[in-house]
Chain A
Amino acid sequence: MSAAKLSVAELRAAYGQAQVLFDVSLEIAAGEAVALLGRNGAGKSTTFRAILGLIARRSGRIVFDGEDVSRLPAYEIARRGLGYVPEDRRIFSDLTVEENLQVGRQPPRSNAPTWTLERLFAIFPNLRELRGRAGARISGGEQQMLTIARTLMGNPSLLLLDEPSEGLAPRIVEQMIEAIREMKREGLSLFVSEQNLAFARLVAERVYVIEKGKIRFAGTMSEFDARPDVRDAYLAF
Chain B
Amino acid sequence: MTEARASLLRVRALSVSYPGPQGPLRALSDVDLDLDEHECLGVIGESGCGKTQLLLALLGLCGSAARVTGSIRYRGEELLGAAPARLAALRGRRIAMVFQEPQSALNPYLRIGEQLAEGARHHLKLTRRAALGRAAELLELVQISAPAARLRLYPHELSGGMRQRVTIAMALMCEPEILLLDEPTTALDVTIQAQVLEVLRSIRARTGVATLFVSHDFGALATLASRLTVMYAGRAVEQGAIGELYAAPLHPYTSGLLRSLPRLDLPVPLRLAAIPGQPPDLAQLPAGCAFAPRCPLVHPACAERPALRMRQGDHQVACHCELPAARIGEAWS
Do these two chains interact?
no
Which B residues form the contact surface with A (CB < 8 A)?
A: none
- Chain A residues near B (Cβ < 8 Å): none
